[in-house]
Amino acid sequence: MALTATALQHLKHSGAAAGDKLTDAQGLHLLVTAAGKYWRLNYRFDGKQKTLALGVYPAVSLAKARKRRDEARELLADGIDPGQAKIDAKLAKAESEASTFETVARSWLNKTAGNRATSTQQKNTNWLEKNVFPSIGKMPISTIKPRDVLATLQKIEARGAIESAHKIKQLCGQVFRAAVASGLADRDVTADLRGALSSVPKANFAAITEPLHAGALLRSIHAYTGHPYAIAALKLSPLVFVRPGELRSAEWAEIDLEAAEWRIPGVKMKMGQDHLVPLSTQAVDLLRAMHGMTGDGKYVFPSIRTSDRCMSENTVNAALRSMGYAKEVMTGHGFRAMARTIMDEVMGERVDLIEHQLAHAVKDPNGRAYNRTAHLPARREMMQRWADYLDKLRAGADVIPLRSSTA
């Protein structure tokens, strides 16, 4: 006789050691024991008698147990063992849960760490931990939809961090492509978000490019009484005019003081190419002084808090602010524009040499990119002339004003 929902409410274990088996229909029965009441389905597959667990009563009602029985019988009709199908589903679920966005992202970050600077690795990790993991980090990466990623990016965009939103979108895309390569996702869903974010507003880095004002800035830098690491970074910035991230992540292993050269590996460069910076005598003197303070460690400019990390990206800009230079007037990146403008328009240096030293893409007459040592003797002489000129500016010597653009 088939079971009824009412009868089940009053069932009690009889005390039999093997439990009480109450049959419903088509192989479905309820096993009542001292520990609980369990739904079971007896069936045959491939000539063998088997039993499938369908849940525990009352969490699984009679109606739900019958539905699960019917689903199992449908699998049998299709030649599928419902017991094995259940095992496969559990394994797939476990694999999916283990392959969350966060798990894949951290694995990818670790495997590719050698392809980027330590500072970039930390920045990427921080971006994901603060902006992405809280929203989609626990989701199986194969289940994430474009709208899930978009909702995450729009929160960043709403803070006004539009450029960061675009960079984090690119970062997420790299994680998805790693998942595709590992068979954990079908595709990079960020490809569907093209044009979904606001355009990044174009803005130039604030810079002082008038020689007279540059001289005042140099005097302020040399009068600055902040932390020794910050002072040295400020003094070196105009001499080498590399990007702020390249300066603060400089390592002693990259610098040859005897040869007066700093070789920055491509993984740290925006263009991905190795870059050679000839060092003026003034730059070498500054670095020798720094070596006495930080030469035993990895970084030329370590963090004030720990030598395991390089200087914070805000250190130079914060020092400029404390000296009275607002962000609309001068930034750490602005030393590049200062050098580019004055060396060209005042000193008359060759533009191609300046562009080489700025690590911009420069090609020969045949359209081929120059290598990192191109025109090195001429660049070395130019860097020394630039350092000597900065000394004159700082001393308040006569300066040549910028040529008028209307002249």
pLDDT score, position 407: 36
Cα separation of 101 and 144, whole Å? Answer: 8
By three-state DSSP, how is residue 140 classified?
Answer: strand
- Pick the catalytic residue from 29, 68, 268, 333: 333
Q: 315 with 217: CB under 8 angstroms?
A: no
In the residue annotation, 360 being an active-site residue is answered as yes
In the residue annotation, 243 being an active-site residue is answered as yes
Q: 183 with 167: CB under 8 angstroms?
A: no
- Pick the catalytic residue from 68, 336, 340, 356: 336
Q: 380 with 278: CB under 8 angstroms?
A: yes
What percentage of the chain has pLDDT greater than the value 70? 92
- Pick the catalytic residue from 224, 370, 380, 385: 370
- Pick the catalytic residue from 13, 222, 270, 288: 270
CATH class of 101-193: mainly alpha
Look at the domain 211-395 and name its fold.
hpI Integrase; Chain A (1.10.443)
- Pick the catalytic residue from 21, 227, 360, 363: 360
Q: For the whole model, what pTM was predicted?
A: 0.54
In the residue annotation, 222 being an active-site residue is answered as no
Q: For the segment 229-251, what is each residue's pLDDT rounded down to a tens digit? A: 999 999 999 999 999 999 999 99
By three-state DSSP, how is residue 205 classified?
Answer: coil
In the residue annotation, 10 being an active-site residue is answered as no
User: Which mean pLDDT values do the consecutive 10-residue runs of the chain (407 residues) have?
Assistant: 84 84 92 92 93 94 95 94 89 76 94 84 91 94 95 89 89 95 93 89 76 94 93 96 93 96 89 89 97 94 88 90 92 92 90 88 54 80 96 78 46
pLDDT score, position 359: 87
In the residue annotation, 57 being an active-site residue is answered as no
Q: At what angle do helices 334-345 and 228-240 cross, to 10 degrees?
A: 40
Q: Does domain 5-97 have CATH number 3.40.50.2300?
A: no
Contacts 24+ apart (CB under 8 A), 297-306: 297/252, 298/251, 298/252, 298/253, 299/249, 299/250, 299/251, 299/252, 300/250, 300/251, 300/252, 300/255, 301/229, 301/232, 301/233, 301/247, 301/248, 301/250, 302/229, 304/227, 304/229
pLDDT score, position 404: 46
In the residue annotation, 325 being an active-site residue is answered as no
Q: For the segment 31-77, what is each residue's pLDDT rounded down to a tens digit? A: 999 889 999 999 999 989 999 999 999 999 999 999 999 999 999 99
